[in-house]
Structure 1
């Protein structure tokens, strides 16, 4: 019987176990130009016992940034800073993918160096709610609708960031198609009101995700390219009208590309049937960040034994327990996560969680 502690071949990348560190925004890029710091190097190196580390979301452009102090990967300085992270993780025997995240309409001019810029999206639909900025909580503003030519340019930004990731020593990239950010915004009916080839029908709404995946796979190799999805997720004012249709249609188009993995995160209850359908469709490695994750709940590990997932990703548990695979194997004990230090700040609640 396959267990979470068995190795796995991830399209040519050998992983020591089937426990992944899920991507988590931590907002610790305090370096000039939003480069990662030595504390970020230490944070990821501490967690190198994961079979696979997936980084926090990394913006591929200035307006791709959604939150203060999140790191970029679109300049030579970014590449050099991330190289320190990948070298440190590899020195400890770990593997690490960069998550490329364009936030789309989730952003605010006050966090960018040029405050005349506007966030961009498939359509000029303002998200409900507020965003934390360096100047406190502020209302979201209306994004600018991308032109057809600009959509092609944004696809190019994903490609450039992915090439930069490989130059920085990452083992691959995960394209963030979840949680209400740009790729997800193209998929969803309340954020994509377009009537051209990029909106309207299911075929048109999945086009952006498919074209980004195709372009990145061609640039760095499909085995080093992956995508994350979150079916039914309402986060960031998303309202999907056809979850059970759009995701199988998207994965049908992704399947022939030979991607390294598909990563599904279950955020909203009631969508396990969609998860199972996508698992059945996708023949390569399937990573699941399940809704069942919890410090005393080992149902997540049984997902591998039951064949529902090849790899299970953990978020807060990995944040608070840098040696999580060892703790899972021993059924604990687990450090509690300090929610007050999740975002921003410095080393407290970041690199000071103890190992066993």
Structure 2
């Protein structure tokens, strides 16, 4: 008899959506490997499907070429990428897994000097001409973020998401997740710290919600609503987003959660505080005391509520038992334990999680000097 009965119980996402074999969700983990998925990507996701994961969320997958800090992050904007992702999906399905693609646009936290951005001939876009504070472009001598070009017609980017969702459907994904967190483009449109537009995409919360809601409307042309999730990080802290006061935070996110609940998508993934820096230059950029369950859980009655950030299996089980969350998203455990779900079920000790600040090759790409440039000891085939 396992002590993780709730965590290991099935979870139906609703009519038209998949039923997850358990409530262990693999978080979206950027691995910085290939613009076009290759055999290493097939093996990586298949290992975690074989390992019993309830739902696999892919690493952030770009809807258009962008000069991200991740020079080898994959995309879903070309036929070649779509065909390559299909091989990943087919292998995951053969292993009995369920996999959603995370749709990603970094917006103002791209850099014009990154080779891919240069090749597009386009400026770095943002909702407004407001630069994010800080910067971490290791390939550019830690260059700082630049002031973005305020997007003239946001609907043009909405249509890039639409094409990406269409490609994801073609590749056979079980669903998609809209990345509206961590200071990326939909998050930038949502919050007042990065959006000071005066057109229909700025000002009121109804206007600031417009961009992510238009994206969802386009996604629904390709996927059932119960095949679509969204990721939110209302506490802020990463990539210089985060409303400056709790009052501003509530004014932004209570209406947004309410609207997402009304639309009744498959799930809302919500990050707890702690990811990213709470301050920059003496100015707050996160609300580290935010209680996501107290503030938002009661607003979510249709979609499932996924909780994320720094969970142990024990706390995950407790929160699901208490009704705080319907499922829990795990990150670092999944990198170092492809069979994490099976280890939870069987009571087997976990491999150490690994530290993204110290274990850079493990976290961000390939192990140093590996002849096959692809596998670490932590990713041994099951």
Q: TM-score, normalised by structure 1?
A: 0.91
Query: How much has 1:135 moved relative to structure 2?
Result: 4.2
Which of 240, 251, 255 is the aligned partner of 2:243?
Answer: 240
Q: Note if 1:146 corresponds to 2:151.
A: yes
Cα distance in 1, alignment partners of residues 264 and 145 from structure 2? 37
**Alignment partner of 1:23: what SS?**
coil
After TM superposition, the structure 1 = structure 2 runs for residues 120-269 of structure 1, keeping only pairs within 5 Å, are 120-147=125-152, 150-241=153-244, 242-268=248-274, 269=288
**Alignment partner of 2:142: what SS?**
strand
After TM superposition, the structure 1 = structure 2 runs for residues 247-326 of structure 1, keeping only pairs within 5 Å, are 247-268=253-274, 269-272=288-291, 274-282=292-300, 283-291=302-310, 293-294=311-312, 298-326=314-342
Where does the alignment leave 5 or more consecutive residues of structure 2 unmatched? Answer: 275-287, 368-372
Which of 347, 350, 359 is the aligned partner of 1:334?
Answer: 350
Match of 2:379 in 1: 353
Cα distance in 1, alignment partners of residues 136 and 107 from structure 2? 13
Query: How much has 1:8 moved relative to structure 2?
Result: 1.5
Q: Deviations over 1:76-112 (max 9, x none)?
A: 0011000111011101100000000100011112334
Which of 33, 36, 54 is the aligned partner of 1:28?
Answer: 33
Cα distance in 1, alignment partners of residues 109 and 185 from structure 2? 8
Match of 2:42 in 1: 41
Query: How much has 1:220 moved relative to structure 2?
Result: 2.2
Q: 1:262 to 1:216 in 2, by over 3 A?
A: same
Query: How much has 1:270 moved relative to structure 2?
Result: 2.1
Q: Is the 8 A contact 1:83 1:169 kept in 2?
A: yes
Q: Note if 1:99 corresponds to 2:102.
A: yes
Match of 1:73 in 2: 76
Query: How much has 1:222 moved relative to structure 2?
Result: 1.2
Q: 1:10 to 1:337 in 2, by over 3 A?
A: same
Query: How much has 1:130 moved relative to structure 2?
Result: 2.0
Q: Is the 8 A contact 2:67 2:115 kept in 1?
A: no
Q: Is the 8 A contact 1:210 1:250 kept in 2?
A: no
Cα distance in 1, alignment partners of residues 199 and 377 from structure 2? 47
Report the RMSD for the aligned CA atoms in angstroms.
2.1
Query: How much has 1:246 moved relative to structure 2?
Result: 1.3
Match of 1:54 in 2: 57
Query: How much has 1:19 moved relative to structure 2?
Result: 0.4
Cα distance in 2, alignment partners of residues 267 and 52 from structure 1? 23
Q: Deviations over 1:326-347 (max 9, x none)?
A: 2223444111134322112255
**Alignment partner of 1:68: what SS?**
coil
Match of 2:112 in 1: 109
Q: How many residue pairs were aligned? A: 346
Where does the alignment leave 5 or more consecutive residues of structure 1 unmatched? Answer: none
Q: 1:343 to 1:305 in 2, by over 3 A?
A: same
Q: Is the 8 A contact 1:102 1:182 kept in 2?
A: yes
Match of 2:284 in 1: none
Q: Deviations over 1:202-233 (max 9, x none)?
A: 22222212221122123322122111101112
Q: Deviations over 1:124-167 (max 9, x none)?
A: 111122232544422222111001xx200111111111111111
Cα distance in 2, alignment partners of residues 250 and 154 from structure 1? 20
Cα distance in 1, alignment partners of residues 169 and 79 from structure 2? 13
Q: Deviations over 1:1-56 (max 9, x none)?
A: 96011111122302111100011111111xxxx10111011110010121000011
**Alignment partner of 1:220: what SS?**
coil
Q: Deviations over 1:303-336 (max 9, x none)?
A: 1111111111100011111011122234441111
Q: 1:351 to 1:101 in 2, by over 3 A?
A: farther
